Structure 1
Amino acid sequence: MLKDIIFSMVIGGSVGIISHVRKHGKIIMPRKTKKFVYLGFLEEILLCLVACLLVVIYTTPNSLVENILVSVLVGVSSDIILTRFKLLNEKNEK
């Protein structure tokens, strides 16, 4: 089980960094402004990593292939959810 958890976290982090580069075209480093801290690429890595971790713990895949498929699907769906929240926030600000 520990092997599955670690493997899903690696896949989730990889999907997070790939989605970040796909959206922005480059890796944006974390920075601190006067009002808040912008996490940059760490935001998407952590989101995908935690989502993959929770789903793999909950579903307990039986094989390595299931673990890969579940982790990739959860990573991509968490990226879609994050993008949707950002779009809703931009729409509410206007």
Structure 2
Amino acid sequence: MNGSRHAAYHSFLQARGLPLRDDLVIGGAEARKAAFANVTALAARMDRPTALFVESDLAAVTALHAFEEAGLSVPGDIAVIGCGNIDEGVIRH
């Protein structure tokens, strides 16, 4: 994870008295195949989180595809938060 984004994430958790769980900090966002594989593994966990924060919008879009393939609903089963403001990350109503 990008150093400044990781620091911001850690600060957010600390401010709320929540632990940083290293087992939920997963690399591979910069490569879409790796991101897809990592999110697929995350979706299969018994203790799957209710939200995923990723360091890029491309990784967020990849996560959406992986969760859909795993039969999960976004945001019903899990929320996905990306960074970057690319066109693919924009939700249009």
Greater Cα radius of gyration, structure 1 or 2: 1
- The structure carrying a bigger helix percent of its residues is 1
TM bin, normalised by shorter chain, reads: under 0.3
Q: What TM-score, normalized to structure 2? A: 0.23
Q: What TM-score, normalized to structure 1? A: 0.23
Q: Which has the higher contact order (CA 8 A, sep 6+)?
A: 1
